Structure 1
Amino acid sequence: MIWNTMMGTSILSIPWGIKQAGFTSGIVLILLMGILTLYCCYRVVKSRKMIPLIDTSNWEFPDVCKYYFGSFGQWSSLLFSMVSLVGAMVVYWVLMSNFLFNTGKFIYNFVHDINVTDIVPGTNGSNKVICPSAASGHPPQSNSVIVSSGNNTGFELFEKWWNKSQTVPFYLIAVLLPLLNLKSPSFFAKFNVLGTVSVVYLVFLVTVKAAHLGIHLEYNWFTENEFFVPEFRILFPQLTGVLTLAFFIHNCVITLLQNNKNQENNVRDLSVAYFLVGLTYLYVGVLIFTSFPSPPLSKECIEQNFLDNFPSDDIMSFVARIFLLFQMMTVYPLLGYLARVQLLRQFFGNAYPSIFHVLILNVAIVGAGVAMARFYPNIGGIIRYSGATCGLAFVFVYPSLIYVISLHRAGQLTWPALIFHIFIILLGLANLIAQFLL
């Protein structure tokens, strides 16, 4: 359950993050961030039991923050929780626009028997890989030319009204905005299994593609060229920002573990879940990076969504986009429900005070998603900014501070423990600052 909940859209950006960090340092960072976030998550799980003489069995982590930090802890935890939820919803909107665009393009070309040749650089053969970032000098939404078609005018009209950033993000409003206004999204919770199916299929896709493409790593310590694979890059904080959200489950882990029949196994189950998540990220990230055909392309071509490196007419990528599109369309209302419950209940004491209140909130959230899909469709950037921001509070600062304060009150605080947890807090602060500097 924890693995299924934690595995999200970040998996699509892990290969890009490894590219930004450097191959070896990228692998090391995934391991270290997994261990660090697991420890902080462990501190969250144990935080309630550090409070004496009070029944905390029904408390969530924001309640613990309120106990230790008063109203500041209550409202700041709400703020950072909203950043994580709305940030995830914005990423979902950008990705759903991407998947819907490519799915519609594939179906239109197939139905009308249109053969399209990408004008972006790419490899040849049945397992074609493209480099969209190298086509920046071309119109961003029409990186293709018609080879044969019975109706070129119809194709041009389709390209006009089926545009990745200018039209498709708005089409999603008609479907998703009404769903956000439902009082209970319990119907969509039944489709949670789609998340597992999507991730399993992505792993299968990556395995098949890597088997066909082979390994492409060129190490040349004396003559660096465009195909050179660096071990370390100064842009590595971009990967740590992505990983903060990729391993983020701290704001709901207590709720998830409450459903565990054997509570004494919580730490074991949490550790196993983090191990599986880290292993999945490593598997996908390393295979995509190492199998990316360089030469003839450069590793710099790896996109923030690695599915964009496969053309829209690729069958396996088409199926992956279909899976992910339906999964996200079922998860999106659930995220909206969580945001609504946390925000409106805090202000009005009711998760559904009126349709008017709910509609205003949902229009604001949807508007943020549409604006990002229209003007800043960079999921890697959105993930790392939102991940580093919410992670500063929920991953690094609050769990460490709460543990230090509880030890101090119990008279058990030692200098090594204090220094270690201050170091964790400084790492979180540095992680956030670095996102705006690099």
Structure 2
Amino acid sequence: MMGTSILSIPWGIKQAGFTLGILILIFTGLLMLYCCYIVLKSPKAIHFSATLLQLRSTRQLSVTYVDTSDWEFPDVCRYYFGKFGQWSSLVFSMVSLIGAMVVYWVLMSNFLYNTGQFIYNYAHNASVSNSQFGTNGSDKVICPYPNTDPGGNVTIVALYLGNSANDTSDVSTFEHWWSKTNTVPFYLVILLLPLLCFRSASFFARFTFLGTISVIYLIALVTLKAVRLGFHLEFHWFDPSQFYVPEFRLLFPQLTGVLTLAFFIHNCIITLMKSNRHQENNVRDLSVAYLLVGLTYLYVGVLIFVAFPSPPLSKDCIEPNFLDNFPSSDVMVFVARTFLLFQMITVYPLLGYLVRVQMMGQIFGNHYPSFFHVLALNVLIVGAGVLIAKFYPNIGSIIRFSGATCGLALVFVFPALVHMISLRRQGLLRWPSVLFHSFLILLGVANLLAQFFM
């Protein structure tokens, strides 16, 4: 569940306001947990459903059993809503998976660029320092786009040791061939496109433990940075300054969009829980998972937000990827980027495999119809990642739009409708349940619409 969205949580809290951001994170996590619980229980609700039939001579209970042992949530949607439910759930599942792959491509381009920049600077004895407007000390914090800072308080200048013409020529040549948006996204194609064409993704599944290591390292990094930077919060309600920290902002739907994808596991939770040895503990384990993920998001988001040095900078400088607020010369951040880059290189083919299995299985009835079918699909996916990384590398917006879109169907609408229909067939549906689950559907619609106005 916990993927790249963790990097955007501090930015989301900034958009919502400090207090409101914390409340929204907790509230959204609870809602997502409940909807995921509905999805997890939906196959059993079909399997054990009973319909009362009014017969001519006598009343008796006719129980209809359906084998749902191999069902996924799209199959549940097909059972209740026919072909429309099956195909619409597939489309929204593709939105979430391909959206995640696009975010991965943008982040991999970012991490690869900064890793190459660090290695180049180290090999050429080059140093990067802040100008008079930057923060001082060993733990420097930067504002990559100073125009977003109301105080205009930071500018980054690269100082290269050595003044010969050859040095200047080498730097310009390196910048020409090592550009975050113009060249690096295309270099990834050479590595990742062949990996996507593997028939099986079992080899890459062996490296999923790197995700746990990356999260642990990120938590350690955030903790150390917060200790060194200290806390910077100024709550001036009646006399706000340019460094005033708002507790409530109207841009809060941007955080709800990010959190919808950050807590999203609904399209594969049934498959994951099938491997649980003690099926009676599924609800408990699911709740513990959401608790741990929510606490991690809360810890990272709050610490980065409160430790961001304001003054001299402004909280508005916090980037959708909070690692971008540290210079490429930062060794600890360099290690984090390297960890995350290698992890994403191994996870990206897994996501592509899920896309292939779901899409090819539905369309052709075969997960690997032919090499050329798979190649064409992978070229389209990779092309989308390259184009976004080149022209719109804003992971915050990508995450919130894809999260709100897939969340509308797979988190709010379909689970709520499935639950109400199941209760109605069992004769257990009551008005409070109708009102609550209808409210969930309205929340999903509002969450998506709000992304276009914020």
Please tell me the TM-score bracket, short chain as reference: over 0.9
Question: 2: CA distance between counterparts of 1:170 and 1:204?
Answer: 32
RMSD: 1.4
Q: Provide TM-score, normalisation by structure 2.
A: 0.93
Correspondent of 1:78 among 87, 90, 93:
90
Question: 2: CA distance between counterparts of 1:171 and 1:120?
Answer: 36
8 A Cα contact 1:117 1:147, kept in partner? no
Q: Is it true that 1:106 corresponds to 2:118 in the alignment? A: yes
Correspondent of 1:50 among 41, 45, 59:
45
Match of 1:13, SS? Answer: helix
Paired residue for 1:435?
A: 451
Correspondent of 1:358 among 348, 361, 374:
374
Change (3 A) 1:167 1:28: same
Question: 1: CA distance between counterparts of 2:40 and 2:132?
Answer: 49
Change (3 A) 1:121 1:170: farther
Correspondent of 2:26 among 31, 38, 44:
31
8 A Cα contact 1:120 1:132, kept in partner? no
8 A Cα contact 1:120 1:135, kept in partner? no
Q: Provide TM-score, normalisation by structure 1.
A: 0.96
Residue 121 (structure 1) shift: 5.0
Q: Give the AA of the match of 1:321.
A: R
Question: 1: CA distance between counterparts of 2:148 and 2:20?
Answer: 29
Q: Give the AA of the match of 1:101.
A: Y
Question: 1: CA distance between counterparts of 2:236 and 2:429?
Answer: 50
Question: 1: CA distance between counterparts of 2:159 and 2:310?
Answer: 27
Question: 1: CA distance between counterparts of 2:412 and 2:434?
Answer: 14
Q: How does 1:6-25 map to 2 (within 5 A)?
A: 6-25=1-20
Paired residue for 1:413?
A: 429
Question: 1: CA distance between counterparts of 2:261 and 2:413?
Answer: 15
Match of 1:413, SS? Answer: coil
Question: 2: CA distance between counterparts of 1:375 and 1:83?
Answer: 19
Q: Which protein has the larger Cα radius of gyration, Structure 1 or Structure 2?
A: 2
Match of 1:397, SS? Answer: helix
Deviates most, 114-123 or 42-51: 114-123
Q: Is it true that 1:191 corresponds to 2:186 in the alignment? A: no
Change (3 A) 1:259 1:10: same
Q: How does 1:31-430 map to 2 (within 5 A)?
A: 31-51=26-46, 52=49, 53-118=65-130, 122-134=134-146, 144-149=157-162, 151-430=167-446
Change (3 A) 1:226 1:131: same
Question: 2: CA distance between counterparts of 1:416 and 1:330?
Answer: 46
Q: State the identity %.
A: 69
Question: 2: CA distance between counterparts of 1:121 and 1:201?
Answer: 30
Match of 1:145, SS? Answer: strand
Residue 286 (structure 1) shift: 0.1
- 1:55-105 Cα offsets, whole Å, 9 max, x none, are 111111110000000000000010000000000000000000000000000
8 A Cα contact 2:127 2:329, kept in partner? no
- 1:306-343 Cα offsets, whole Å, 9 max, x none, are 00000000001000000000000000000000000100
Deviates most, 52-61 or 268-277: 52-61
8 A Cα contact 1:120 1:134, kept in partner? no
Question: 1: CA distance between counterparts of 2:73 and 2:342?
Answer: 31
8 A Cα contact 1:120 1:143, kept in partner? no
- 1:344-384 Cα offsets, whole Å, 9 max, x none, are 11111111111111111000000000000000000000000
Match of 1:146, SS? Answer: strand
Q: Give the AA of the match of 1:30.
A: L
Question: 2: CA distance between counterparts of 1:120 and 1:327?
Answer: 37
Question: 2: CA distance between counterparts of 1:122 and 1:202?
Answer: 24
Question: 2: CA distance between counterparts of 1:349 and 1:269?
Answer: 33
Deviates most, 403-412 or 300-309: 403-412
Deviates most, 181-190 or 150-159: 150-159
Question: 1: CA distance between counterparts of 2:144 and 2:402?
Answer: 25
- 1:21-50 Cα offsets, whole Å, 9 max, x none, are 000000000000000000000000111111
- 1:265-302 Cα offsets, whole Å, 9 max, x none, are 00000000000000000000000000000000000000
